[in-house]
Structure formats: C-alpha cells, structure tokens
Amino acid sequence: MADLNIRDCFSLLIEDHRAVEELYERYSESDDLESKKQYLRVFIRDLSIHSGIEEAYVYPLMDKNLKHGGSLHQFSLDQHQHLKEDLKYLDTTELTEDNVTDFNQRLFGLIADLKHHTDHEEKDVFPAMRDALSMEQRADLLSQLEKAKSMVPTHPHPHTPNVSLTGLNIITTIQGYIDRSLDLYKGVDKK
C-alpha cells in the first residue's frame, strides 16, 4: 500500500479540489456582486487549469496502468467536457444583478456534478493509481503537473478536441498562452 502521508501528484490534485470548493463557498457567501465576479473568475481559471493538467497527464496514465483504464479515461473526459461547457457559459456571460439567480443555479448544478466527479477520483481513481504507479512515477507526474499548471489554458475550451496523448499538445499550449495573454491584458489577477 502506498504511503498516503507523502505529498505526491494526487495530493496536489486533491488540494486543487479543495481550493475550487473554497472559491465556490466564498462566491456563495458573498453578497457583493464585484466580489462574486472576482471569485467566479478565479474559480473558472483554477478549474480550467486543473482540468487541463488532468486531461494531459493523469487520464492518459489510466489507460496504461488501471484495469478498465481506457473506459475510465473516456468517462473522465466526458465528465470534463460537460463541465467545460457549463464553465464556458459562466466565463462568457457577464454576471449582473439581473442574472445572478441564473448564475447561482448554473453554478450550483456545476458544483453538484463536480462534487460527484471529485469524490469518484478521490475515493476510487487516485488510490488505484497510487497503488499502480511507483514512487518515482508519482514524483515525475507531480513535477509534470506543477510545470504544466503554468502552460495549460486558464479558460474553458469545450470545442477543442480531447486528445489522448500524454503531455501537452500544441493546441493546448497555444490556448494556454493566449488565455494568459488575455488575462494579463484584462488585468485578471494571478491569484
């Protein structure tokens, strides 16, 4: 059994899950529209980055290392696709006093789907992958994930095809560069 006290690639992913949940809680607790907008921007950015690194590095390893890994990989991509479509709406529609109720409903639905997804990863997928990967493989994956966080897109791109290659592909890298350039231009905070 893998030592769960050692920080590894899966600890990083679980930390991301908690950070996104915290952003949603802050959004929900805020009564100020401008604060809600800021929490929403960071939520979309962080969830887009997290999805990007999982799709590029974690999910392809399912194929190679888990029984039924191919179907699990596809299932996870399908869940991410649905989340990216919802995120795209939230990312491209201006949050106003007039539509805050619709935003809250859409975001609540997205969070419910996300919670189901992250629970499955944390209870089933990550423990199985921890057992399947050596300590060295997990350390390499952690390094790849940390590096990729600065290169993957910061916004959802539901129309970009999901590619089953391990690592970043040229489209993802270009989208990440463009997203970060637009974020800089728009003055979106890094964190």
pTM: 0.87
The third-level CATH classification (topology) of the domain covering 9-186 is Four Helix Bundle (Hemerythrin (Met), subunit A) (1.20.120)
109: alpha, beta or left? (left if phi > 0; alpha if psi -120 to 50): alpha
Series of mean pLDDT values for 10-residue runs along the chain (191 residues): 64 97 96 95 95 91 87 86 93 94 93 95 94 94 94 89 60 76 74 47
Considering only CA atoms, which of 172, 146, 142 is closest in space to residue 157? 172
pLDDT of residue 8: 85
Q: What is the DSSP string of 161-177?
A: PP---SS--HHHHHHHH
- What is d(CA 105, CA 86) in angstroms, rounded to the nearest whole number? 11
pLDDT of residue 6: 57
- What is d(CA 173, CA 69) in angstroms, rounded to the nearest whole number? 25
Contact 59, 73 (CB under 8 A): yes
Considering only CA atoms, which of 98, 106, 105, 121 is closest in space to residue 15? 121
Domain ranges of the chain: 9-186
pLDDT of residue 166: 55
Q: Rounded to a whole number, what is the distance in angstroms from the first to the last CA of the chain?
A: 36
Per the prediction, the chain carries an average pLDDT of: 88
